[in-house]
Structures are given as structure tokens and as C-alpha cells.
Chain A
Amino acid sequence: MFKRIMVPVALQHVDRMRRTLNIAADLARQYDATIHFVAVSGTVPNAIARTPEKFAAELDLFAREQGDEAGVDSDSLALITNDPAAELDARLLEAVEKTEADLVVMGSHPPGVADALHLIGSHSAWLVRHSDVSVFVVR
């Protein structure tokens, strides 16, 4: 049913993503799908890496470890932008196209005040609205 599962990850918050990663691994095993780990990063040094190249390498390492652990095929895609905070949504949409994913599994926080006011919506909600791919929102 699904061949290519995209999982957006925030490498500095992997500890909070356990559930999302487990669900993605389960689904990948069930459908014999590949997991594409996607992350968006800036050109300025951040908590994960000091250069965009090192960031891509870190993500690749993470993807391989996760794939081995879950016993599924995995791949990685690092998207570099000069304004990662503001462009996250647009980049995730780009990642859906680039990975040709048929399912996105991603974590989300429960809707809060900001969501109700439509000020800063959740990234998963945005993706649901703007992409025709299936999105599994994990809470």
C-alpha cells in the first residue's frame, strides 16, 4: 500500500520522537517500504552541526542507524535553506516531491491557543492542507 514513507525529523529532539519513529518503522515493515528521513537546516551553525555538509552527514548516519534498528531500508534528505524556521513548511512540501513519498509520518503537538487563533499552526496541519499525500499525525 505504501512504498515510500517520509519522516520529518528534528535531530535535536529525537528523544521526543520515539513514538513517531516506532510507528514509521512498524508501517515500513508491514508494507516493505523505505523510510526517507527528512530534515531542514540553516546555513548558520546549529546544535547538530557547524556546517550544512556536516548536518547532512549527521542525518545520513541517523537514517542508517534507524533503518538497521528497524530492519527496513532507509534513506535521508537534508534540505538547506537560509531561513529554516520560516521556510520549514515549504521545504517539507518540497521534500514530499523530492522523495516521492506516498505517506508522511510525523509528530505533532496537541492543538493549543496559537492553533486556534490560526497564528502559528502546526506543521503537520499545514502539510495536510497543502499536499495530496497521506499524512499520519502522531500524538
Chain B
Amino acid sequence: MDESTKEHEQLIAELEEIYDTDYEIGQDNVERLGLDMHNPVFFVSAGLIVLFVAASLMFPEVAKAGLEATKAWIQVTFDWVLLSAGNVFVLFCLALILLPVGSIRIGGDDAVPDFSILSWFAMLFAAGIGIGLMFWGVAEPVGYYTDWYGTPLNIEAGTDEARPAALGATMYHWGLHPWAIYAVVALALSFFAYNKGLPLTIRSTFYPLLGDRIWGPIGNMVDVLAVLATIFGLATSLGFGAQQAAAGMSFLFEVENGLTTQLTIIACVTAVALISVLRGIDGGVKLLSNINMSLALLLLLFVVLAGGLGAFAVNYGQTLSGYADYILPLSNPFGRSDDVFYHEWTIFYWAWWISWSPFVGMFIARVSRGRTVRQFLTAVLVVPTLVTTIWMAAFGGGGLDQIEMGVGELADGIGDDALVLFQMLENLPLSALTSLLGICLVLVFFVTSSDSGSLVIDSITSGGKTDAPVTQRVFWATMQGVIAAVLLSLGGAAALDALQAGAVSTGLPFTFVLLAMCVSLALGLRHELKLKQALQV
């Protein structure tokens, strides 16, 4: 064996050694009562959940005041941090698409995708964003156009300028930025699990920076924080969602808009989520996502046709041009005068997206094996953004058209924000049918959120195992429903507000976690590329 071959083999050995951890997946786990739980992540998370719920029930007003003050403080003091970080994530993703590391395949060169492209796209919306598109697709552009609660860059409401600004600003909140946040987390998780053999849990993404220290307290802390952000984010959304769905149902049918209806909705959503959880990814969340995507496309097509193709074309053009014109001014954190819009909308959304990123990111990671980094980022950034432009042009643009024509209730501005979608549909033909379709979509999106959330929390609390007993997922799905129901019936909106503010507040620590994750991911990808090149010679 000559000198250069020896050196070459030594290089490969050295490269491989970097990720050669002695940590065995599940070594910190406790197996009791047929369960398989990470100690301390499972127990600390469960304890803190009980503590926070109990505290917010016993002292709802104090908890609300405290946690909302924290949230407000973060929104105002760290506004530039959150906004700049969002820009960094977009640029980071675009850079990875263009750089040579884009050719790295998640799961190794021979990995094949587990899911078809269509099912995969459908599942991207399953975890969190789908439900938001239903609620805000009409309400947000209408809100900006009518100055319901601030306008982007203080543009005067109701003017010709306000129209593309309303659509563009909405796109800014639902376009590249949120998806870049999710893409960073999803790519980091899937890369370190499928390519580097580390357990599928948040801490693994820091292996290049912290080495074997991630298995200790630092890793435990990050994982516990991710669990808390996810479960409180999901439970409070389910609680508020049940209120909104109940309002929608009483608007459409002869249903009483009260606690009984809300609790029934929570129980039904949780029950269907449980069935879905037990059926696994293919028989559960994938199936439901495919159904939901078909229904959503149907509703989208209907709204486009019913509103008129010509009007849609105008709205679509304005959505694109508005997005292009306002993406840079809205991304600028300095010298802003539109205080209400900037802090209460943009920064709130950024904290919200970031606090949901462990959940949505991990679910996307779970279903993205077999795609290259370039394919993955292009698909996760570009495709959902394009789909959203169509959605916003149809629903938001349709709402704006009704205002301008003075048709229906939207002409008087937003009353109850939960009803805006239905008020828009009411002025189109077949409104009974389409509103029912809308309600179904909302409910099924809640089911897929609950289902995918349980999958994610289970994976984190069992130390990255995906083969832990299904009973544990049942436990987490049930917990979400129970927390939502208990908060709603005992603490009311104050308790929900409190915990939601708490969940959103985790957006700040996670901003720093995500920034570090970018560095770590860049190191990991560079290492993988080096190893790949060394092995090819």
C-alpha cells in the first residue's frame, strides 16, 4: 500500500470518527408499564406541563398578565433580533440551494423517498400552516385593507396603494420567511438523523458544535423547551380553534355557540386524531392530508371561478407585485414607523413560526428522507409559497373585491375575525355547501396538527425513538385535548391567552437555538461533502 492511499484512508477514518459517538439511542430511557421514555425529558416535560396548566387555572389573571407582559416585552425589545433572524434563515436556505452541498441526499446517495411528491406536499401543510391559511386567508388582507388593526408601513386604508400592500404584506407573513424557518429545522433534523445516524430529536442538530455534551443538560433543556412550546402551542390553538369553529357552526347551522359545542368539537377532533395516530403515518396523517389537499384545491378552484377569472387574474398580479414590492421594506427592522403592524403582526408571526418550528420542522424531517438538500429546500420554500400566492389572491383578493363592491358584511369591516371566511363565502353561490366544506377543512387540519404533534412530542420524549410503543402517542394526543378542554372550561379565554403567550414567548430562545442550528448544519453539510468526495476518489 503506497503512502497516498494510506493517507487517504486515514482521512476517511478521521472524518468518520467525528460523528462516531458512543451514545446509544435509548440509553437514558426508562421502560415501565410497557412505555419507553427518555429520562429526564419525558418526566420534566410532563411535570412542567401539569405545573403550568395548574398555575394558569388557579391564577388565570396573574398568569395572563405575566406571560403576556413577557410576550409583549419580547415583541418590542427583540423585534430587530426576530426580524433579522428571519431574513438570515431565508438567505441561508437560498445559499444552500446554490452551493455544492445542495447535492447531498438526505439518507445517503441510495436513499429513495418514502412518500410521493404529492403526498409529501400535502403533509407540509398538515402540521401547522394549513389551519392558518383557512382562518387568515381572507381576514388578514381584509384587515390590512380596512385598517382593522394597523396597516403595513402605515399605508392609508382603502386606497389604490393599500390593495397590493394588503395582499403583499399577507404574503410576506405566509411566504418564504415562515417556510425558511421550518426548512432550517427540518433539514437540520433530517440531515443529522438520516445521514449522521443521530437520534431524531432537537439536540442532535448541535452535535458539530457541542459534541457529546448534547446528551447532557444542554440537550435536555432544548428538548424540554421544544416539547413545552409544541404542546402548549397545539393545545391553545385547539382551544381557540374550537371557539372559532363553534362560532362558525352557529353562524351556519342552528348550533348553540357555547362551551358544550366547543368541548364537543375538542372531543371529536381528539378522537379522530387518536384513530389516526393508531393507524400510523401512512394510514393516518398521510391519508388525511391527501383528503384535505383535495378538498382545499376544490374550494380554491370554486372561489377562483365564482369570483370570476378576470378578477382573480388582477388579484393574482397584485399579490405577486405586492409581495415583490414590499418584501424588502417589510424585512427592514430599522426606522419603522408602523408600530402596530410591525410588532403586533410581523413580530408576533415571527415569534409564532419560530416557536412552532421544532414541531413543524420535525414532522417535515420525518417525511423527507430520500430528497437532496437542493430538492428539499426548493420544494419546502418555493412550492408552498407559490401555492400560498394563489390561495391569498383567491381568498384575500375575493374578500377585497367584496369590500370594494360593497357586498355583504365584509363591506362594514371585520366584526368577528373567526367568521370572515364564511362571510366571504356567503356572497358566492352555493354558500351552504362551501361553508360546510370550509368547516370540514378546518376540523381535519386540526386533526392532522394534533396527530403530527403527538408523533413529534413522542419522538422527543422517547430520546429520538420512532419505535416506542404507540400508547405514548395516544397519551400525548389525549393530553392536548385534555389541556385544551380543561383550560377552556375552567380558565376560559384568559387561561388560553396566558399559555399561548407563554408558547409564543419561547420563540425568542428558539431564535438563538435556530441561529446556532444554521451554523451547526453548515458544518455538518460541509463535513458530509468532504466525506463524500473522499469516498469517491
Contact = CB atoms under 8 A, between A and B. Distances in A.
Interface of A: 12, 40-47, 50-51, 82-87, 109, 112, 114, 119-120
Contacts of B279: 86
A82 B469 contact: no
Interface string B459-498: 1000011111111011000000000000000000000000
A51 B108 contact: yes
A50 B197 contact: yes
27 contacts: A12-B26, A43-B369, A44-B200, A45-B200, A45-B464, A46-B26, A46-B465, A46-B466, A46-B467, A47-B27, A51-B197, A82-B114, A82-B281, A82-B282, A83-B280, A83-B282, A85-B466, A85-B470, A86-B277, A86-B280, A86-B281, A86-B283, A87-B280, A119-B471, A119-B474, A120-B469, A120-B471
B24 interface: yes
A87 B467 CA distance: 10
Interface in B359-391: 366-367, 369
B25 interface: yes
B369 A47 contact: no
A43 B194 contact: yes
Interface in B100-143: 107-108, 114-115
Q: Is the interface of B mostly helix, strand, loop or mixed?
A: loop
A51 B193 CA distance: 9
B197 A45 contact: yes
A82 B464 CA distance: 14
B152 interface: no
B209 to A, nearest CB: 19
B282 A42 contact: no
B467 A120 contact: no
Contacts of B358: none
B26 A45 contact: no
A45 B107 contact: no
Closest 6 CB pairs of A and B: A86-B280, A50-B197, A83-B280, A83-B281, A47-B26, A84-B467
Nearest to A12: B26
Interface string B21-58: 00011110000001000000000000000000000000
Contact of A120 (B199, B466, B470): B470
Nearest to B462: A85
A50 B25 CA distance: 9
A119 B478 CA distance: 13
A109 B466 CA distance: 21
A109 B34 contact: yes
Contacts of B114: 43, 82
Contacts of A46: 25-26, 465-467
Given A44-B193, A46-B467, A86-B280, 6 more contacts: A45-B198, A45-B200, A46-B26, A47-B25, A85-B467, A85-B468
B337 to A, nearest CB: 48
A46 B277 CA distance: 20
